[in-house]
C-alpha cells in the first residue's frame, strides 16, 4: 500500500481516509508480521494552471506575434529564405522541446506530461526567455500564481 503524507508542524499527517485505510491494513496483519515502510519525498506533477500557462498563453502569444509579423517557419528553423509555411502550434511545441529540453532525474528527456511543478516552471521560464530573443514578451497572468500553487496542500485533513 502507498500513502501520501504532508509534513505539518514537524510531523507527517495523513488525510482521514488514508489514515483509516492504513490503520485497517495494520490491524489486518498478524502479530509478528514483518512490514517495510519507506519514506520518500513525493514529486508533485505540473498543475493544470501551468499547462494552461504554457499552451493557452505562451504558445498562443508567440503564434499570434509570428502571424502579426508575417513570420513563417524559417524563423524557428534558422533559414535565410522564407519557407512560406506558417508556424503551427505543434511545430512550435516540438521546437521548444528541442531548444528548451526537460530532463528527468536520470537525465532522460521528457515532455511536459512527465514534468514536475518545478520542471514545468523552468520550461515556462526558458520558453519566455527564448521568446524574448524574438522581442516577444510573455506576461505572467498572475505574478503570484506560482507561489500559490507551490504552497497549496495536496489535501485538507
Query: Per-residue pLDDT tens for 83-99?
Result: 999 999 999 999 999 99
pLDDT at 155: 43
Contact 4, 12 (CB under 8 A): no
Q: Using 50, 70 and 90 to split pLDDT, how confident is the model at 124?
A: confident
Q: Using 50, 70 and 90 to split pLDDT, how confident is the model at 78?
A: confident
Question: What φ, ψ does residue 12 adopt, rounded to 5°?
Answer: -90, 130
Q: Using 50, 70 and 90 to split pLDDT, how confident is the model at 48?
A: low
pLDDT at 153: 52
Stated as kind and residue range, the H or E segment containing 20 is helix 16-28
Amino acid at each position: 500500500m502507498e500513502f501520501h503524507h504532508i509534513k505539518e508542524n514537524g510531523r507527517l499527517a495523513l488525510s482521514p481516509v488514508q489514515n483509516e485505510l492504513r490503520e485497517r491494513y495494520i490491524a489486518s496483519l498478524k502479530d509478528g508480521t514483518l512490514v517495510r515502510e519507506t519514506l520518500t519525498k513525493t514529486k508533485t506533477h505540473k498543475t493544470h494552471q501551468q499547462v494552461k500557462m504554457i499552451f493557452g498563453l505562451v504558445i498562443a502569444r508567440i503564434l499570434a506575434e509570428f502571424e502579426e509579423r508575417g513570420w513563417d517557419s524559417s524563423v524557428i528553423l534558422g533559414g535565410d529564405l522564407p519557407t512560406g509555411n506558417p508556424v503551427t502550434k505543434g511545430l512550435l511545441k516540438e521546437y521548444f522541446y528541442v531548444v528548451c529540453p526537460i530532463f528527468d532525474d536520470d537525465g532522460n528527456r521528457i515532455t511536459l506530461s512527465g514534468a514536475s511543478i518545478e520542471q514545468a516552471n523552468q520550461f515556462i521560464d526558458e520558453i519566455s526567455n527564448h521568446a524574448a530573443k524574438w522581442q516577444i514578451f510573455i506576461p505572467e497572468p498572475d505574478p503570484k500564481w506560482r507561489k500559490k500553487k507551490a504552497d497549496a496542500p495536496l489535501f485538507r485533513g
